[in-house]
A and B are shown apart, each in its own frame.
Chain A
Amino acid sequence: MSDRILVASKKGLFTLERQGGRWAVARRQFLGDHLSLVMGDARSGALFAAFQHGHFGVKLQRSTDGGATWSECGQPLYPPKPEGEVDNDPFRNKPIEWVTERVWALEAGGADQPGVLWLGTIPGGLFRSGDGGDSWTLVRPLWDHPGRKRWFGGGADLPGLHSICVDPRDSRRVLVGVSCGGVWETKDGGETWDCRADGMIARYMPPEQQKDPGIQDPHRVVLCRARPDTLYAQHHNGIFKSTDGSRSWTEIAQAGPSTFGFAVAVHPAQPDTAWFIPAVKDETRIPVDGKLVVTRTRDGGKSFDVLSRGLPQQEAYDLVFRHALDIDESGDRLVFGSTTGGLWISEDQGDSWQTVSEHLPPIDCVRFV
């Protein structure tokens, strides 16, 4: 069980702790600064926080004392863009600068790879560290892959790599999710890459291109640690599931009030159990009927419970972004935070929710640590 949660918000870093059965804000840091992501590396105990300074760029900080103090570590910086290189977002025909615009994914490598970290960015580059974040290197085989130049921006103006799944059976096998560029797999630690989004459907494209794996918009991709061939994707056009390690995906057409959303969590030990937070599809992006609910399947997507106990059921306009839902290693505790500063925690797999706050800044990311 995790008794601590880091919250990355538009106006600071908040640490929540559980004391006497209740959760509360125990520490607030960097008030006024925008954080896009937080992560705890269970292998080393290090914590990471990605800053999104509006004027002064992206900065990565690390804490080695449990979050008491932070300092800048290595930064994920793109190499010089070659003179004359044509690299345009194909959707808008707008040049992609080789500049880290946002840290949008950060995950630890396998247990057998201490020091290895993977980091995803807008505009789409994947970075790897072999030294616990002291230094970062752009994964060139993916960046230079012809398929990468077909990626385009979705919610952001430029493409972004937002999901990283390391196979617990083999740390060299890594899956990444891209908006908009599908799901990509390496089996050799990043040397070679293949697109793995067959079965996804992009209804925002002309009909003949809707099944093209390389232009899909999975908003978030997660993998079940106990059965790593089972993955779920909350996609721009619905929910998709794979049971063959992402070689093929099947749409889950019904899931409570809506299949649109950004976030998804899968139980670490039960591959048929997963959670989503639905919103009215994509034109409006607010909870259906102003009622904030979580949907949960326990049978791999055949049926869904609609969970609302403890959540606001009138005039609620909370949207939950892709990194703002997390599950702890026990699979019992979940946390999510919203664009309007609401934060809720469940200790019973979503059956009931405790309101921690409805007045935090807009929340980008929550993580049990």
Chain B
Amino acid sequence: MPRVTFTANLQRHVECPPADASGATVHEVLESVFATNPRVRGYVLDEQGAVRHHVVIFVDGTSVRDRRALSDPVSSGSEIYVMQALSGG
């Protein structure tokens, strides 16, 4: 099952421990996480479902290409990191 880890900087605002979550795409995996931790959604995605401008999601070391629909595929052993972009220096 893919594993999702959130930047420690997000823990200041909302509890979001690492989670094992099922899914074949980044979208599906994150929806699995949000199903059990709904408050996290609005911190990672905007209300149109896109990745927030200053958030970056990595799948196995590569930042996701589809920031709107999150259709990038993931495998059962994927490591997904939700990080904050280096904005503002």
In chain B between 24 and 50, which residues have their CB closer than 8 angstroms to a CB of chain A?
39, 42-44, 46-48, 50
Q: Is the CB of A53 within 8 A of B47?
A: no
Query: Is A281 at the interface (CB under 8 A from chain B)?
Result: no
Query: Is B52 at the interface (CB under 8 A from chain A)?
Result: yes
Partner of B39, one of A54, A72, A100: A72
Q: Quick one: CB contact mask for A322-352 with B, threshold 8 Å, 1 for yes? A: 0000000000000000000000000000000
Q: Quick one: CB contact mask for A60-80 with B, threshold 8 Å, 1 for yes? A: 000000000000100101111
Interface centre among A55, A57, A75 (most CB of B within 10 A): A55
Q: Is the CB of B54 within 8 A of A54?
A: yes
Q: Is the CB of A55 within 8 A of B47?
A: no
Tell me the smallest distance from the CB of B20 to a CB of chain A, in Å. Answer: 23
Interface range for B: 10 to 19
CA gap between A80 and B45 in the complex, in Å: 13
Q: Is the CB of B48 within 8 A of A56?
A: no
Tell me the smallest distance from the CB of B33 to a CB of chain A, in Å. Answer: 15
Query: Is B78 at the interface (CB under 8 A from chain A)?
Result: no
Q: Is the CB of A57 within 8 A of B43?
A: yes
Tell me the smallest distance from the CB of A291 to a CB of chain B, in Å. Answer: 32
Count how many chain A residues have C-beta atoms less than 8 Å from C-beta atoms of the other chain: 17
CA gap between A49 and B44 in the complex, in Å: 20
Q: Is the CB of A81 within 8 A of B43?
A: no
Tell me the smallest distance from the CB of B4 to a CB of chain A, in Å. Answer: 16
Tell me the smallest distance from the CB of B78 to a CB of chain A, in Å. Answer: 23
List chain B residues, Cβ under 8 A from A78. 47-48
Q: Is the CB of A77 within 8 A of B47?
A: yes
Tell me the smallest distance from the CB of A249 to a CB of chain B, in Å. Answer: 35
Q: Is the CB of A98 within 8 A of B48?
A: yes
Query: Is B77 at the interface (CB under 8 A from chain A)?
Result: no
**A81-B48, A99-B47 known; A75-B55 Cβ under 8 A:** no
List chain A residues, Cβ under 8 A from B87. 54-55
CA gap between A57 and B52 in the complex, in Å: 7
Query: Is B8 at the interface (CB under 8 A from chain A)?
Result: no
Query: Is B5 at the interface (CB under 8 A from chain A)?
Result: no
Q: Is the CB of A100 within 8 A of B47?
A: yes
Query: Is A59 at the interface (CB under 8 A from chain B)?
Result: yes
Q: Is the CB of B48 within 8 A of A59?
A: no
Tell me the smallest distance from the CB of A133 to a CB of chain B, in Å. Answer: 15
Query: Is A97 at the interface (CB under 8 A from chain B)?
Result: yes
CA gap between A53 and B43 in the complex, in Å: 9
Interface centre among B10, B48, B54 (most CB of A within 10 A): B48
Q: Is the CB of B52 within 8 A of A56?
A: yes
Query: Is B22 at the interface (CB under 8 A from chain A)?
Result: no
Q: Is the CB of A80 within 8 A of B43?
A: no
Q: Is the CB of B42 within 8 A of A75?
A: yes
**A78-B47, A97-B46 known; A55-B54 Cβ under 8 A:** yes
Q: Is the CB of B13 within 8 A of A56?
A: yes
Tell me the smallest distance from the CB of B89 to a CB of chain A, in Å. Answer: 12
Tell me the smallest distance from the CB of B63 to a CB of chain A, in Å. Answer: 15
Q: Across chains A and B, which 7 residue pairs bring their CB atoms closest together, nearest first? A: A56-B43, A77-B47, A55-B54, A55-B84, A99-B46, A78-B47, A57-B52
Report 15 cross-chain contacts, Cβ distance below 8 Å, ordered by A residue.
Answer: A53-B13, A55-B52, A55-B54, A55-B84, A56-B13, A56-B42, A56-B44, A56-B52, A57-B46, A59-B42, A77-B47, A80-B47, A80-B48, A81-B48, A99-B50
